[in-house]
Amino acid sequence: MIEVVTPDAAFRYREKIQAMHSLRHRVFKERLHWNVCSREGLERDVFDLFHPIYLLANDGRGGVAGTWRLLPTTGPYMLRDVFPALLDNQPPPHDPAIWETSRFAVEATPDSAEGLGAVSRITSELFCGLIEFCLLFGIREIITVYDVRVARLLPRIGCRPKWQSTKHRIGDTLTFAGRFDITPEVLAAVQVASGITDSVIHADILSEERDAA
């Protein structure tokens, strides 16, 4: 199940947000050895200050096993402000219906290791949850920066970019930028690839959307 943490509700998720930063430290600092800012076992960067939306995957025991971070392209975001070379001379998107995802992280498990094994359930739920959330709130396109591991994962999970940059080396990491359409057909493809048939979004955000309508 995916919980959607909006800026106005973040105070209710303090412990889970702390757990998310700890997960990001384990993934990006300890496992991938990226040059990220981690202090006292918590990974944060400046983009966490711009009121992002977080998607948090539940590990089944109340903990956080995976996460995405989302920011609109109408404000600061990583691809434009940190990695503009990945745009391959294209103009950076600036559109309220185009959002950036970043800091995709999943807790290491035997079935999430790199290789030919099945895509983990948490990874599949995060992709389905992201697309569900975007469809619910009128986001029609996602842009993101990802490394070669994720690039190899995308076809297996039924999610292919409509545009992908040339390969760039950032530090020790081979990296791409990609743009992805968000449509019901894309959600259906990811659901077929993952075997997920029901909504993975926590009921609270669905109730809030119905109340707002």
Whole-model pTM?
A: 0.90
pLDDT, residue 22, reads 97
Residue type, 202: H
Q: Where do the structural domains in the chain lie, given as residue ranges?
A: 2-212
**What are 107-156's pLDDT values in tens digits?**
986 544 443 344 689 999 999 999 999 999 999 999 999 999 899 999 99
What does the mean pLDDT of the chain come to?
Answer: 90
Q: What is the CATH number of domain 2-212?
A: 3.40.630.30
pLDDT at 206: 52
pLDDT of residue 172: 85
Calculate the CA 205 to chain-centre distance: 17
Looking at residue 203, its pLDDT comes to 60
Q: CB neighbours (10 Å) of residue 60? A: 10
- Name the DSSP class of 12: G
191 close to 164: Cβ distance less than 8 angstroms? no
Q: What is each CA distance from 18 to 54, 99, 150, in whole angstroms?
A: 12, 24, 25
